[in-house]
Amino acid sequence: METKEITTTGGHKAVIKSFITARDMRVLKDMYLAVAKFDTKSSEVFDVDIEKASEIEDKTLELVIVSLNGETEGLIEKLLDLPAKDYGEIFEEVQGVAGFDKKKEN
């Protein structure tokens, strides 16, 4: 498994996968499509269940993050206990790995 280490502004170290598998991507897409409501004419998402969106975010983190500050257990809770800025920096990297990087779309 290819990984890379990132260090947040606050000094937290996260080891994340360099890529996700097609199987992992399918899991995320299926979860998203199960909760999103689309406008059939424009294909735009207009409603997402917030509780389910958090589940998708957690699953994305689970599939990409290998460790946080050397720990490998209870990662979601540890991530949620980080300062928001550090969490945001890590999640931005995770989104890039998972293919949800908004910067790449522009």
Give me the half-sphere count of Cα atoms (radius 13 Å) on the Cβ side of residue 39. Answer: 7
Neighbours of 60 (CB within 10 A): 23
Domain containing 88 equals 3-100
106 is a domain residue: no
State pLDDT tens for residues 48-106.
Answer: 677 788 899 999 999 999 999 999 999 999 999 999 999 999 999 999 999 876 554 43
Does pTM surpass 0.85?
no
Q: 75 and 59 in contact (C-beta within 8 Å)?
A: no
Considering its fold, how many domains does the chain have in total?
A: 1
Q: Which structure tokens are listed for 33?
A: 């499509």
105 is a domain residue: no
Could you identify the residue written with the tokens 């399918």? Answer: 26
